[in-house]
Amino acid sequence: TQLLEQSPQFLSIQEGENLTVYCNSSSVFSSLQWYRQEPGEGPVLLVTVVTGGEVKKLKRLTFQFGDARKDSSLHITAAQPGDTGLYLCAGVRSGGSYIPTFGRGTSLIVHP
């Protein structure tokens, strides 16, 4: 069983559409991170959220940490082809070690 479940696994949309990616768990996290990974590259950190209910915006990307710190979402407004990539969430469990646990990722393709 994966500690962090991401959905959907795959997403193929047209440029200009909106989308939301979810990251869910039954565990509580002290922090949660979102990464984007492009083919042939390593993951690049987009944001870290640490407070329950926290919302962070990065241009057209909006990240939310659940009130109970067990889940998170990533919303992209007016997606562009440059948003194509694998989106990964990673959480550091409360009371545990600081080793992050990664979800399997959501593969996003934005068609022009």
Partner 1 sequence: KAGVTQTPRYLIKTRGQQVTLSCSPISGHRSVSWYQQTPGQGLQFLFEYFSETQRNKGNFPGRFSGRQFSNSRSEMNVSTLELGDSALYLCASSLDMAETQYFGPGTRLLVL
Residues within the interface to partner 1 (CB under 8 A): 2, 35, 40-45, 48, 88, 90, 97-105
Q: How far is 79 from 14, CA to CA, in rounded Å?
A: 8
With respect to partner 1, which residue has the nearer C-beta, 106 or 110? 106
> What is the nearest approach in angstroms of partner 1 to the Cβ of residue 90?
8
> What is the nearest approach in angstroms of partner 1 to the Cβ of residue 102?
4
What is the identity of the amino acid at 60?
Answer: R
With respect to partner 1, which residue has the nearer C-beta, 47 or 112? 47
With respect to partner 1, which residue has the nearer C-beta, 36 or 70? 36
Exposed/middle/buried for 46, CB within 10 Å: 0-12, 13-18, 19+? middle
In Å, the largest CA–CA distance within the chain is: 44
> What is the nearest approach in angstroms of partner 1 to the Cβ of residue 34?
12
> What is the nearest approach in angstroms of partner 1 to the Cβ of residue 11?
16
Exposed/middle/buried for 68, CB within 10 Å: 0-12, 13-18, 19+? exposed
With respect to partner 1, which residue has the nearer C-beta, 43 or 66? 43
Read off the DSSP letter of residue 60.
Answer: T
